[in-house]
């Protein structure tokens, strides 16, 4: 499994796409936090990274599918998937290794944003006037969200030989999981069940974590999403062996 993880992680760095993806994410986040007048921390009048944690899931909808789209689809296209099957590796070792490799890449994209906390911490009046506990909770939620999206992207890539199709499918699944249930709950037809429908979606649980409330149910939910899609990925691989 560690060999698969290392292969996925290292191979990503040999591609110029890696640096483009990271750059686009950081530039887009920076524009929302510092430049755009409607969302800029400098214009808001208070020290908070709330806008960053609000827009990051939507940036992840593009970032993570771009990272995961070639996880299995490229193996199918090049025929190297057959080599993986001949090695002394179980399906779970292959899947988890690829998942962890892609998740690590997405986590690295998040790490440079810690400097935003440092800047906002210094901008506070007095310096340090920022809810650190809430920020830590929000970052935990962001890492867990990236894991959920990564598992979804790995599953999407296991279905098709085409990377573009994998990207679109991953984007669609992630968006549906994140915002789909909230949109469904907002319909008048489901108003009596809106609270329960919202709980089915990622947005409800991520929003709770983004407030700095580390609730076990939210962590378990996001962990369950990861396990669910990794299990479905294994089913896809088993079917392709038949």
- Each domain of the chain, given as residue ranges in start order, spans 2-241
Tokens of 168: 């679109």
Confidence category of residue 90, pLDDT binned at 50, 70, 90: confident
User: 32-35, long-range: CB within 8 Å, 24+ apart, which pairs?
Assistant: 33/116
Report residue 102's pLDDT band, with 50, 70 and 90 as the boundaries: very high
pLDDT at 128: 66
Q: Which helix (H) or strand (E) holds 97?
A: helix 91-110
CA distance 120 to 41: 8
pLDDT value at 242 more than 80: no
Tokens 């890492």, residue? 143
Q: What is the mean pLDDT of the chain?
A: 85
Higher per-residue confidence, 96 vs 125: 96
pLDDT digits (tens, 9 = 90+) for 158-216: 999 999 999 999 999 999 999 888 877 777 666 677 777 788 889 888 888 877 777 88
Q: What's the confidence (pLDDT) of residue 220?
A: 93
Q: What is the pLDDT of residue 19?
A: 81
User: How far is the first Cα of the chain from the last one, in angstroms, to the nearest whole number?
Assistant: 23
pLDDT at 3 over 90: no
- E-state strands within the chain: none
Contact status, residue 32 vs residue 55, Cβ threshold 8 Å = yes
Mean pLDDT across 213-238: 91
Three-state secondary structure readout of 127-188:
CCCCCHHHHHHHHHHHHHHHHHHHHHHHHHHHHCCCHHHHHHHHHHHHHHHHHHHHHHHCCH
DSSP type of residue 126: S
Question: Distance (Å, rounded) from C-alpha 86 to C-alpha 202?
Answer: 37
Q: What pLDDT, on a 0 to 100 scale, did the predictor assign at position 238?
A: 84
Q: What is the pTM of this model?
A: 0.91
Cβ–Cβ < 8 Å for 145, 57? yes
- Judge whether residue 225 has pLDDT over 90: yes
The pLDDT, as a whole number, for residue 122 is 81
Q: What angle do CA 141, 145, 149 make, to 5 degrees?
A: 175
For the stretch 12-66, pLDDT in tens is: 777 777 788 888 888 898 888 888 877 777 776 666 788 889 899 999 999 999 9
């Amino acid at each position: 499994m560690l060999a698969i993880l290392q292969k996925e992680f290292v191979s990503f760095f040999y591609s110029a796409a890696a640096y483009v993806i990271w750059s686009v994410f950081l530039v887009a986040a920076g524009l929302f936090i510092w430049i755009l007048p409607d969302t800029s921390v400098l214009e808001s009048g208070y020290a908070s990274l709330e806008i960053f944690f609000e827009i990051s899931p939507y940036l992840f909808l593009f970032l993570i599918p771009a990272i995961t789209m070639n996880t299995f689809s490229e193996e199918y296209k090049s025929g190297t998937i057959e080599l993986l099957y001949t090695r002394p590796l179980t399906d779970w070792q292959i899947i988890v290794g690829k998942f962890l490799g892609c998740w690590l890449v997405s986590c690295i994209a998040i790490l440079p944003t810690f400097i935003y906390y440092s800047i906002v911490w210094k901008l506070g009046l007095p310096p340090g006037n920022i809810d650190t506990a809430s920020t830590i909770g929000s970052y935990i939620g962001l890492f867990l969200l990236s894991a959920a999206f990564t598992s979804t992207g790995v599953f999407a890539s296991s279905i098709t030989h085409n990377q573009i199709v994998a990207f679109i499918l991953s984007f669609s699944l992630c968006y549906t999981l994140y915002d789909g249930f909230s949109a469904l709950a907002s319909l008048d037809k489901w108003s009596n069940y809106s609270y329960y429908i919202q709980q089915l979606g990622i947005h409800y649980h991520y929003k709770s974590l983004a407030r700095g409330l580390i609730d076990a149910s939210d962590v378990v939910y996001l962990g369950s999403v990861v396990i669910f899609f990794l299990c479905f990925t294994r089913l896809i691989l088993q079917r392709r062996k038949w």
